[in-house]
Amino acid sequence: MTAPILRPIDLPTGEIAVHGAFDLSAASQWLAGTGPAGSFSAEPGVLRVAFPVEGTWTHAGAAIRQRSPSTVEVGVAAPVEIAARVVAQVSRMLSLDVDESGFAEVASRDSVVRRLHSRHSGARPVLYSSPYEAACWAVLTQGMRVPQAMRLREQLAVRHGRQVGDDGPFSFPPPQILAELGDEPSVGPFRLARLRAVARAAADGRLDTEELLALPISDAMTRLCAIPGIGAFSAEQILLHGAGHPDLFPRLDTQLHQILCAEYALPPDTPPDELEPLAEDWRPYRSWVAHLFRLDRRRAAASGEVAD
């Protein structure tokens, strides 16, 4: 096990102004059931995360508290010179870099979305720390159940990442480490080769968030699909859950399509070309609405209302 990053975790501190509704507890609950590193601490209301900071790839940790509906406080565990970058990355991970105040208008145009918005007020998409980490998760989940992929991710983080404090989460290995990783029997040579390819792409700047978001969606997809091991479905998921594109309709997410067919009383084999027009009323939050559908289905499954 490697040494902790920095102690104490809550210095220095930055603040994020919240525009629109946001619920940190909803973000924490989503993280608890997905791949990104994150954990509740013993202190109520605190979400702790760890990740390599995009660009510098320095390990960092953050303790996140919602002090008021309009303010989120971030305690940073990282060198002082990159503290602002850590806060900015946390802001993107929690989708706080997008103004939510226009979402009510979107909900007013679609009765199904209006119901979801009312049921899950303050729930925003929760992202991986970077497109790099999202791409690694895509590789880990290829042909593998999510719980098993989560265990592999945790093993890689414990062995080759860094821990925040004595009992905090582990940061995922940065690209320069993963690109040179030797034999990992639990991962397997084929999957490890794909992880190395993703790491090299990140180190070369081909997974930069700002560049991906600046490109037209089709061009960003082409760029991502050029990375060995990243197909069209994975590329779409990286744009959604890594770069955090707020207005992308997931054309390749068949599970989401099944949910939409059920919610809008459509035949279960309705093709994406006929589903996508439904999302025109969701602009400019199509990714966000898709997240609400997934969140609603997950909570219904957890409560036993629907089959998972």
Q: What is the pLDDT of residues 190-222, one digit of tens each?
A: 999 999 999 999 999 999 999 999 999 999 999
Q: Which two tokens stand for residue 231?
A: 């197909």
Model confidence at 236: pLDDT above 70: yes
CA 115 to chain centre: 24
What's the pTM?
0.92
Cα 177 to Cα 34: distance, rounded to the nearest angstrom: 23
**Phi, psi (degrees; rounded to nearest 5) at 297:** -65, -40
Percent of the chain with pLDDT over 70: 91
Which pLDDT value is given to residue 302?
A: 77
For tokens 């034999």, name the residue: 183
Q: Which two tokens stand for residue 302?
A: 């957890």
Looking at domain 13-105, its CATH architecture is: 2-Layer Sandwich (3.30)
Query: In angstroms, rounded to a whole number, what is the distance separating the alpha carbons of residues 293 and 260?
Result: 8
Per-domain residue ranges of the chain: 13-105
pLDDT in tens, 264-294: 999 999 999 999 999 999 999 999 999 999 9
> Confidence band (pLDDT; 50, 70, 90) for 43?
low
pLDDT in tens, 47-101: 999 999 999 999 999 999 999 999 999 999 998 889 999 999 999 999 999 999 9
